[in-house]
Amino acid sequence: MPRPDAETSSSSMLVLPKAELGAVIRRLWDEGYTVVGPILAQGAIVIDELRTADQLPIGWTEEQERGTYRLKKRGDRAYFGFTVGPHSWKKYLFPPKLTLFTLEWGNDALAVHPSPEPVPRYAFIGVRSCDLHAIEVQDRTFLHGPYPDPHYKARRDHALIIAVNCAQAAPTCFCASMGTGPRVDRGFDLALTELADVFVAEIGSDRGRALLDGLSARIAGPDELDAARRVVEETAGQMVRKLDASDMPGLLYENLEHPRWDDVAERCLSCTNCTMVCPTCFCHATEEVPDLAGGRSERVRQWDSCFNPEFGHVAGGNSRPEIRARYRQWLTHKLASWIDQYGVSGCVGCGRCITWCPVGIDITEEVAAIRGSAEA
């Protein structure tokens, strides 16, 4: 195995032959990480355990539009020649269903036992800029509030991130207008830009650098750096959708009775898809699941949605009984009150809610409609 020379151990931009990605994945498993990344399954590119580089959707891409997602063969062997699918990394950091603790009781005794769930050390491969920003957004919810969530923290603290700069934009993408991409700018251990035969790898941490130790990485030359830069520029140039996110609290708070809410309520099915695919939506319900034998139960939390009719349930009734109120809550929270709560928008421009809406509701179009005929 070649030894890393002094130069590669100090430069932050290296070149890695594509074939070496398999060695990186193997090394991560050997180090005890649970490696997850994009794979082909269920007719889509989803995120799941990744044992070998062969499982990546090499040579595949997808067509996305409002309410549409179709896999498609590329004419090449690109490893990351696609954008984002229905899954995001929140399914690992904030699992869809998680036992918080278990209870055990009998005569005159009641005990609370900590969560029995394993906490894997994750290595994420193929994280896009929008999703890196989404992780930062969820960090603000789960780590930086008055009561940090220990379950999120346990998973987040050790997660290793290998990001990928997008080499194409889907028609549903609008990260450029949200200031969240397409170039990966922070929060990664390694960031890859895919060229024809190699990855240009930007080192983001000592842990990321150590991953390439002993592999045939070399310092990137000016042509390679230039090519890598062009990849992201071209992606930004492809982006057709945009969202004018200026003064969203002002716009939406002043337009809570705008007729567009009635209009969108006619189309919205309140199916919750947008909130399930959204990489920042964090609402969850807790439920107690008793053991059939009695004397034991689990307190389980699972993803909830402000589109679920029970979401607003209180003893006296329902605070949001109709779809108009629920869509208004979702959009107003995502784009306006999120900023008041966390200092950033809840939208990272990934476009998932547009693709996966069964009736093709487009968040950028709804905002534009309200902005175009705002009441104040």
Partner 1 sequence: MSTVAQRSPAQIDPATDPYCPHPAIVTAVDPESPGVATFSLRFLDPAIQAEFRYRPGQFNMVGRPGVGEVPISISGAPGEGSGLRHTIRFVGRVTDTLREIQPGALVLVRGPYGSHWPVERAGGFDVVLIAGGLGLAPLRPAVKALLADRSRYGRLTLIYGARQPADLLFTTEYDAWQRQGMELLVTVDRADASWRGRVGVAPPLFRKIALDPARTVVMTCGPEIMMKFAIQEALSRGVAKSDVQVSLERNMQCAVGLCGHCQFGPLFLCTNGPVFSYDAIERFFGKEHF
The contacts of residue 210 (CB under 8 Å, 6+ apart) are: none
Among 59, 101, 226, 263, binds partner 1 (CB under 8 A): 101
Using alpha carbons only, what angle is made at residue 140 by residues 138 and 143, rounded to the nearest 5 degrees? 95
Q: Nearest approach, Cβ of 83 to partner 1 (angstroms)? A: 27
Q: Nearest approach, Cβ of 146 to partner 1 (angstroms)? A: 6
Q: Is 375 in the site for partner 1 (CB under 8 A)?
A: no
Site for partner 1 in 56-95 (CB under 8 A): none
Residue 3 DSSP code: P
Using CA atoms, how far apart are residues 64 and 72, in angstroms rounded to an integer? 10
Site for partner 1 in 271-310 (CB under 8 A): 282-288, 290, 294, 297, 299, 301, 304, 306
Site for partner 1 in 214-273 (CB under 8 A): 249, 253, 256
Site for partner 1 in 131-160 (CB under 8 A): 141-142, 145-151, 154, 158
**191 φ, ψ (degrees, to nearest 5):** -130, 120
Q: Is 341 in the site for partner 1 (CB under 8 A)?
A: yes
Q: What share of the chain is helix, strand, coil (3-state, %, to 5)?
A: 35, 25, 40
Q: For residues 45 and 217, which CB has a smaller minimum distance to partner 1 in the complex? A: 217
Q: Nearest approach, Cβ of 352 to partner 1 (angstroms)? A: 19
Using CA atoms, how far apart are residues 273 and 69, in angstroms rounded to an integer? 14
Q: Nearest approach, Cβ of 170 to partner 1 (angstroms)? A: 28
Residue pair 345/59 in contact (Cβ under 8 Å)? The answer is: no
Q: Is 19 in the site for partner 1 (CB under 8 A)?
A: no
Q: For residues 116 and 372, which CB has a smaller minimum distance to partner 1 in the complex? A: 116
Q: Is 119 in the site for partner 1 (CB under 8 A)?
A: yes
Q: In this structure, what token pair is assigned to residue 22?
A: 């398999």
Total residues binding partner 1 (CB under 8 A)? 72
Site for partner 1 in 194-213 (CB under 8 A): 210-211, 213
Using H for helix, E for strand and C for coil, what is the string for 214-281? CCCCEECCHHHHHHHHHHHHHHHHHCCCCCCCCCHHHHHHCCCCCHHHHHHHHHCCCCCHHHHHCCCC
